Structure 1
Amino acid sequence: MKTIRVLLADDEPVILRGLQRLIPWSELGVEIVGEANDGNELRVMLDTCRPDIVISDISMPGLTGIDIIREINETGREIKVIFISAYQEFSYARDALKYGAVDYLIKPVDKERLVEVMNKAIRLIDEQVERVREKEMATQFERERRNDAIGELIERLTDGDLVAISQLGPIGVLTALPYTTVCFGELDGISLDGTNRWQEQERKLLDFSVSNILTEAIASSNAGIYFRKGDLHGLFVQHGSLDEPVALAQDLHAKINNYLKVSFTLGVGTPALSAEEACLSAKSAEQRLKVKYFEGMNRVIASQRTEPNSEARLLFEELQQQLISSLSRPPQDDREDIIPALLESVSLLSQGSKHAAVSAVYGTIIRLQRELKEIGIVGDSADSGQHALLEQLGRFQTFGELSEHAAFLFQSIRSSAASKLGNKELLQLLQVKAYIDEHYAENITLESIALLAFMNPYYFSSFFKKHTGENFKSYLTNVRMKHAHSLLMQTDLLVYEIAERVGYNNARQFSDMFKKIYGKLPLEFKQDMRGQGIRSDKE
């Protein structure tokens, strides 16, 4: 409970001493903070002592008690006044009540009467404090309701609901500034010291703290509006120069790092030319926030990730095939390790999608394992841990972590293959398949491959089917058709150009073979797939 501060005033020292001793002030929760000997001194001490209650003689030299209470009212001070006087005068009593005095006591002051009046004054102060508190709570409640309403409208606007514009305008949220930018931020799940993810309760507390920091910082700078969109922390910024949102995001990011010591990433959207286009800025902000998986966490991401060109998937598939082909060679035989290039192509191909990156790495590992299984290096148990492998790859928080682990797995598979290739027949088969996969566009025949393997054609045909389960011609055709399928879906090459690229001099022969495998002629197949919305980046 707050201690009540009391200031005494009387031009007679004996009265002041008597008041000091008259009642047990401390038992009432009261502290005597000063004594004034005339009206002028009392006036000064109102500021220096900051009393809650003034007990004053109504008639003093300099300024009278009426002068003092009049000034208290005029200046809006919340001070309760109790007057005392050696005699009761109607005019004094009338003026005292007029200006809101608590009571008017006659000297000599009666002890019980003073206690009664003091309790009355304390009760009035408590009621006053409660009214102020209720008013502040009501104001705060209305402010929060208004902010919540504005936040909901902005969230709707960033989702493309233009009706929100008509509701934001009348409440003075939208400005005439030329640009509108949306930013989104989120906790990365780690502290700056690299400790693991938090418990759910701790995360909620940190998330609440982030909301407070952003709300206060935005409000104090008047630089924008804070809002929530699901788990994301949003900033709606209207600005005159293009560099303002990035500077604001960097300042807020630094505050969160300094105050909370947590990793926090902000994505800054592309500036829109009007509030109506805020949804476009919001979409780009969410996309940039997602690429923290590739760019790294605890930073402001404001640049657009480069879109892959039409050759990106072809490059990935080519590098993937080269990695598979390398299984037939000792690691030292590779003049240039293709693993870093393959992982870089995964990053480019993924277009900021963690799921796509994990799927590409997972698919490559599965292909390597199946390749080894086909030639008898790995048993049937190789498939049993595929689900666990996918979960493991998905747990990495950044592409850098995924790449490091993937490179280790790729190299482990290569090393395992190299150590088990003591069987001459297996080594020969791997070399043959690697040659086919790299030279499928050339004029490859059974005789030319048999010569490469130092076998006669009849024996080679039997050897190939024994180890792969299919005949040589079928394997070569499937390799060519697989690459034809990729070229058909990912490039604008004509059918005869694709035929030439995969080893067919006769476009009609190529088309017939394609239809035999895929059920449709190349152009029909391409039109159907694209009509269904199947694009190269989703195959």
Structure 2
Amino acid sequence: MLKVLIADDEEKICQLIEKLIDWQALDMKLCGVANNGIEALEKIEALSPDVVITDIRMPGYDGLDLVKKTRELNVGVEFVIISGYRHFEYAQTAIKYGVSDYLLKPIKKQELTETLEKIRVRYNEKSEQLTYEERVRLARKSDAERLRTTWFSNVLYRDRSEQDCSSLEEINKQYYYQLKPGYFQIVCVKFDGISMPDEKNLEFLTEKTTQIAEQMLKGHVFDWELYVENSHIYLFLNYGEENRRLIRRQCKNILNELAVLESILEGLRVTIGFGTTVWNITQLRSSLKSARYLVEQRLVAGNGKLLEGELRSSFHLASSQWFTQFNQNMSTALESLDRQQVGDCLMKLKDGLLEQPDMTGHEILQMCREVCNLYLFFMKNHKIPIEQNFMERFNQGVEFCSSAREVLRYLIKEISASYDKAVVGKMQENNRPIRIAKKYIRDHYREAITLETVSEVAGFNPTYFSSLFKKETGKNFLEFLSEVRMEQAKGLLKESNLSVAVICEEVGYSDVKYFTKNFTKYSGLKPNEYRKLYS
């Protein structure tokens, strides 16, 4: 039998927990009660309980201190934390310490019983105290869960045609479902306000969602399954037509129960996308699509809601004249290698998108991905290296944005950071091609060289090279070529007796009048005047 210690400074709470649970049915026994943290730690050392149910706020040591000091003793105790207040920091730390569960007052018998039952099964698995029948049952359950999850993940990720060939009988037989003719539906639960790398929080939320969904759906559906994808949790439901309204109500109750967790995890917001119902299992992906679109709609409709219904947009942004103009402006800005100009262009995009009427959350995300693709295409086309995982990182990060404004800020941040890094690298890399171009011009100024010729030598297309050359030298190609020729002409006028016509040809000009005009503009003197003054 597992030994349980209760720690709470309220005697009535201790008595309530003691009477609330059928300890014998769980193969557990109460070994002691403590009314403060110091006494609780002493009893943990003296009685070696397997499970401690403790309030988070107590005299002496609070619940977290108790967990920490017990961990320092290297004692394998499972903790269940109970709290009646909004202790965000306490909750975060408790989850970080790996407590078995974090329950809010008032304590619910079913919730606490399920938590203790999971602890019992986990303990027996670790200590190999399961009976043969229990081991067989758990092994079968594990196999069935794996197969059921495999089928559901195929629905989420594989091509639709791969799903259309399966009948209910085949799915039931191969994947351990108990599906029946009726309604099929995907419901998506989305968590916002949690940190990207915080796996402990996601594990906690997944376990809570599973518990709550089990409570709300049991007895109302033929079968159901759950699949976790980062901050999304997908529910697959199969139920009878008569329960359609009831299921919606129960999903609303799931949302309300999950909203209670906002008292535990600061900033947490929960949204549910209530996908369309379908009669045929082969149409399940249409329900999945609508659930995903509805969850994306929280970006404009706000989170903390159950979103449902058809989503239609009267404004197709990607094909609009407004977005075409943005593409042109963005390409020009990127080509200029001017980070400020790129930033200004992205800010105008943000402001423009937020002003668009009838815009859907899905459209916002698609537009942002279009902008990312435009950015990647331009950088690749101009041979400017950037991070290989740029798009993957953007898609992961944007999942944790909870509003249209936040999504657009994230887009600007990611592109700006990537572009800044790329421009610095490109500037360093560009010094060499510009040096090559300058040397080529100085070596071949007598010839009829063109921008296209020098661009090819430098390894760039003419448009990009022209912009780069201007940025690096402060002069355009023709200005630089003219400067080189004029300096050579000066030298010949001072150091030789060659005629102006010959010098004109020597420095790459075929028209004496045009040469004289350019020389006068460059030096302020006509060629003959310059010779008289400086020779």
TM-score, with normalisation over the residues of structure 2?
0.36
Decide which structure has the larger Cα Rg and report it: 1
TM-score, with normalisation over the residues of structure 1?
0.36
